[in-house]
Amino acid sequence: MRIGLVLPKVPAYSETFFLNKIKGLEKHGHSVVVFVNSSEKRQNSSFKVKVAPKLYGNKLKVGIVSISKLLYAFLFHFKGSFRLFKLLRKDGMSFLQSIKNIISNVHILSETLDWLHFGFGTMALNKEYVAKAIGAKMAVSFRGFDIGMYPLKNPNCYAKLWENVDKIHVISNDIEELVYKNGFNGKASIVKITPAIDTTFFKKRAQQVTTVPTNFITIARLHWKKGLVYTLEALAILKKEGIPFHYTLIGDGTEMERLKFAAYQLGISNQITFSGKIPHESIKDKLQNSDVYLQYSIQEGFCNAVLEAQAMGLLCIVSDAEGLSENIIDKETGWVVPSCNPRLLANKIKEVIRLEESEKKSVSLNAQKRVKEHFNLEKQQLEFVNFYI
Amino acid sequence: MNNPIKIAVYSGVSPSTTFIERLIGGLAKKGLKVFIFGQQNHKKTSSENIFYFTYKNKLSKSLFLIKYCFLLSLYKGKEKKRLDKIILSKKRNSKLLKVKYYPVLYHCPDIFHMQWAKSIEDWMWVQEFGMKLILSLRGTHVTISPIADERWKIKYSEYFHEIDGFHAVSKSMLSISELYGVEFSKMNIVKSGLDLRRLPFNSKTKKSGLVRIISIGRNHWVKGYTYALKCMKFLKEKGIDFHYTIVGVDTNEELLYQRSQFGLKNEVSFIDKMSFEEVLKKISMSNVLLLPSVEEGIANVVLEAMALGTLVVSTDCGGMDEVLTNNENGFIVPIRDAEAMAEALHTVSDLSLENYNKITKAARAFIEKQHSHKKMIQEMNELYKQVINK
């Protein structure tokens, strides 16, 4: 089979999810074409990469690109282009808009595919008819932000998608629920394939377990949806109650100023290390030196970092945002706390660090075992191969 | 001094914020000559004592540069050379700096009054040419940036002690600035002044069933709207009939998400920025102005609501406790505490009409006494004189 994958950009080395999927498909004899928007430099890859035409910036350039791409589409890929034009016109799109749509999708129209898979729901917007035009089946992945947040700002944005999609991939049950909540008509089948991690890399090293866990850690993009202000507020409660701890926050992002100020205002600057972004390889060491992993997100698709922390044997306390309550089984492989409530989080942290040694050990072992069995790369690869059958 | 003081009120752009524009207008009326430098974005205010030396687009910038190059070479050749050396030492886009600096050197005001602390490094040079340098301590430039970013802290500590005078809008701002080595004797509090004729007080005449709550402010985390939304969730749980409007945050994803998460779609509206007049109207029509901020100097919007007769519930951030006395002229609650905020709003919704108006009248009286436009201009003028006579 020949499978086209539509993504914002070529997956970076750290984006195991996509790379592993591609690897798995190739291993099973399929070929993969990746369609991207930005033409950044990329590493050598086994798969073909096609970049969308650049339709912004200098108007003259855009004009020249548009005309040449349009001519190319109709001269060399007439069937697909004309079919797309007809589908769009039938849908009520104006003549000019239909032509524009053909131009912006020319990089996909020129390929022969069995499946066209959009890596995020938002990637499929304005491309709802492309798969049909080239005679391919259409698949879409929903991962969190695209279904939890985007439709709030753009109500009904997926109406056309629901009409045209052949198969939907979600990363958790909560995301599936959100798909239905956002108007999905049930016409296509939904398949859940959770994220996975390299369980041979993230493995607990034998070490002495600290009796009183005091090193807390979070690895996250510093974005509001990660609920980090709530996390800091919970830690401030702990400090007030005289509980010793040190918190390491790894990651960078737009919220740095907000978080540093919150830490200062809450009087916990000395208990926090803002590590910024660190190389993927060093993350393992940081996890190794920590006891409790916190992921108190407001909105979260699934969260690979929590899987990695579990694999490393950390005690994980997470919020109940979307996929997190599936990532962690409450009281078995970690603890799940209702989101946006620092008092509840603080109480849970206290409860966890005061647990009997044997209880902590048992949860940690359960988590390691579950991640190894259910969230490994091989399993994910197989699930994706089956997805297209 | 017989000649009127020449003062540059510099914020980088013109027109500036409502407060700065009010200062400019007031000073000009008082007879001071006010110079405006920087980028002209909209219309100029015409007044006989306001002088604009501003530029608009690329072309006007180039012509502007040519003009001042010529004038300086002709009349202030030596000074121009000295300034050119300073510009060269900055190792930055020298053309841009010349466009900014040349007109200031040529017109040479007695005082260069900087409105925003972050531009401090750019303007220290004016002292070398006999101008006095005053800095207004306001906004997140002072309250947040040096805490979240060490670079600003270092810069402020390096330059603040060389500045001739400081203007702060609240005591809390002064105590923050002490961290950066500002001498106490150089600091002056000049509270924001309101043009009270434009802000008529209206006692509420009847108690409505629906509590209309409003917040106004830019789309920034410092405004603490996430706490306000959580507070509204509590209000809804308490069964209070209310509507909450935030003006100025039209499409903030975080707030949109939390509104939906807390099930407040019908109770909470977000509205894009609006004109000052429209804002005043909105405040007048509301029962409560809520300030959920985590940090402020003194929020002007609170002063305006107090003047107009709308009751204020505010967090105890920055200098807000210098304005509000709990239960007397408004309500004040701890920062980052949605529950306390909800509790205060609940209390307000239970107030009798008589008690409501008693509080708002006390608020109006406070504003008339402490925050009149006249008082602000008078005190600012004194600050200028004091700095010049040093």
User: B257 near A225, Cβ under 8 Å?
Assistant: yes
What chain A residue is nearest to B258 in terms of C-alpha separation? A298
User: A310 near A370, Cβ under 8 Å?
Assistant: yes
Of B226, B256, B294, nearest to A265 by CB-CB distance is B294
User: A387 near A169, Cβ under 8 Å?
Assistant: yes
Place of tokens 């949605």: B338
Confidence of residue B2 (pLDDT cuts 50, 70, 90): low
Rg (CA), chain A: 23
Mutate to test the interface with B, among A340, A343, A344 (most CBs of B within 10 A): A340
User: A21 near A381, Cβ under 8 Å?
Assistant: yes
Rg (CA), chain B: 23
**Are B257 and A256 a contacting pair at CB < 8 A?**
no
Separation in Å, CA B202 to CA A227, B151, B195, B282, B332: 41, 47, 16, 13, 22
Taking contacts as CB-CB distances below 8 angstroms, the residues of chain B near A299 are 257
Q: Which domains does chain B have, with CATH numbers?
A: 6-56+110-193+373-388 (3.40.50.2000), 196-370 (3.40.50.2000)
Q: Which domains does chain A have, with CATH numbers?
A: 2-192 (3.40.50.11930), 215-374 (3.40.50.2000)
Give pLDDT tens digits for B277-299.
999 999 999 999 999 999 998 99
User: B313 near B292, Cβ under 8 Å?
Assistant: no
Return the minimum-mean-pLDDT range out of A101-105, A227-231, B52-56, B205-209.
B205-209
Separation in Å, CA A259 to CA A211, A240, A338, B33: 30, 19, 21, 43
- Which one-letter DSSP state was computed for residue B372? B
> What whole-number distance in Å separates Cα of residue A290 and Cα of residue B228?
34
Q: Cis link prior to A338 (omega < 30° from 0)?
A: no
> What whole-number distance in Å separates Cα of residue B70 and Cα of residue A267?
55
Q: Return the amino acid letter for A322.
A: E
CB atoms within 10 A of CB A53: 17
**Are B256 and A261 a contacting pair at CB < 8 A?**
no
The ipTM estimated for the assembled molecules is: 0.88
CA distance A249 to chain B (A): 15
> What whole-number distance in Å separates Cα of residue B288 and Cα of residue B285?
9
Task: Tell me: pLDDT of B131 over 60.
Answer: yes
**Which residues of B make CB contacts under 8 Å with A?**
144-145, 147-149, 221-222, 226, 230, 251, 253-254, 256-258, 260-261, 294-295, 335-336
Estimate to the nearest angstrom the gap between the alpha carbon of A207 and the chain centroid: 32
Of B144, B149, B256, nearest to A152 by CB-CB distance is B256
Would you call A261 an interface residue with chain B, using a CB distance cutoff of 8 Å? Answer: yes
> What whole-number distance in Å separates Cα of residue B133 and Cα of residue B126?
7
Alpha helices in chain A (DSSP H): 16-27, 59-76, 78-90, 95-104, 106-109, 130-133, 145-148, 150-153, 159-164, 173-181, 228-240, 256-265, 280-288, 304-311, 324-327, 342-353, 357-374, 377-387
The H or E element spanning position B331 is: strand B331-333
> What whole-number distance in Å separates Cα of residue B163 and Cα of residue B125?
11
Give pLDDT tens digits for B321-342.
999 999 999 999 999 999 999 9
Taking contacts as CB-CB distances below 8 angstroms, the residues of chain B near A266 are 336
> What whole-number distance in Å separates Cα of residue B325 and Cα of residue B359?
10
Q: Beta partners for A142?
A: A170
Distance in Å from the first CA to the final CA of chain B: 13
Taking contacts as CB-CB distances below 8 angstroms, the residues of chain A near B251 are 153
User: A174 near A326, Cβ under 8 Å?
Assistant: yes
Separation in Å, CA A122 to CA A158, A254, B108: 9, 22, 56
Of A149, A256, A298, nearest to B148 by CB-CB distance is A256
**Are B254 and A256 a contacting pair at CB < 8 A?**
no
Q: Beta partners for B217?
A: none
Tallying the residues shown for chain B, one arrives at 390
At A333 the three-state DSSP class reads coil
CB atoms within 10 A of CB A79: 11
> What whole-number distance in Å separates Cα of residue A377 and Cα of residue A311?
13
For A197, phi then psi, to 5°, come to -130, 165
Q: Which residue has the higher pLDDT, B242 or A202?
A: B242
> What whole-number distance in Å separates Cα of residue B204 and Cα of residue B119?
44
What chain B residue is nearest to A227 in terms of C-alpha separation? B254
User: A229 near A265, Cβ under 8 Å?
Assistant: no
Per-window interface: A 267-306 vs B, CB < 8 A: 298-299
> Tell me, what's the pLDDT at A18?
83
> What whole-number distance in Å separates Cα of residue A319 and Cα of residue A110?
45
CB atoms within 10 A of CB B228: 26
Give the rounded percent of residues in chain B with a pLDDT score beyond 90.
73
Strand pairing category for A215-219 and A315-319: unpaired
User: A267 near A239, Cβ under 8 Å?
Assistant: yes
Residue A64's Cβ-count burial label (10 Å; 0-12, 13-18, 19+) is exposed
> What whole-number distance in Å separates Cα of residue A318 and Cα of residue A300?
10
Q: Which residue has the higher pLDDT, B140 or B226?
A: B226
| Contact residues for A7 (Cβ-Cβ < 8 A; gap 6+) | A18, A34, A35, A36, A119, A120, A123
> Tell me, what's the pLDDT at B324?
97
Q: Beta partners for A95?
A: none
Name the residue among B252, B201, B210 with its Cα closest to residue B228.
B252
pLDDT (tens place) for every residue of chain A, 389 residues total: 999 999 988 887 667 778 888 889 999 999 999 999 876 655 667 788 888 888 888 888 889 888 988 888 888 888 889 899 999 999 999 999 999 999 999 999 999 999 999 999 999 999 999 999 999 999 999 998 899 889 988 999 999 999 999 999 999 999 999 999 999 989 899 999 999 988 888 887 665 555 667 899 999 999 999 999 999 999 999 999 999 999 999 999 999 999 999 999 999 999 999 999 998 888 989 999 999 999 999 999 899 999 999 999 999 999 999 899 999 999 999 999 999 999 999 999 999 999 999 999 999 999 999 999 999 999 989 999 999 98
- Which one-letter DSSP state was computed for residue B53? E
Q: How many H helices and E strands in chain A? A: 18, 13
**Are B336 and A225 a contacting pair at CB < 8 A?**
no
Q: What share of chain B is helix, strand, coil (3-state, %, to 5)?
A: 50, 20, 30
Torsion of CA A155, A158, A159, A162, to 10 degrees: -150
> What whole-number distance in Å separates Cα of residue B180 and Cα of residue B74?
41
> What whole-number distance in Å separates Cα of residue A95 and Cα of residue A84?
12
Average pLDDT over residues B30-54: 89
Of A149, A229, A340, nearest to B253 by CB-CB distance is A149
Of B221, B258, B260, nearest to A258 by CB-CB distance is B221
Of B148, B222, B261, nearest to A260 by CB-CB distance is B148
**Cα angle B261-B264-B266, degrees, rounded to a multiple of 5:** 140
What chain A residue is nearest to B146 in terms of C-alpha separation? A261
**Are A257 and B145 a contacting pair at CB < 8 A?**
yes
> What whole-number distance in Å separates Cα of residue A327 and Cα of residue A94?
45
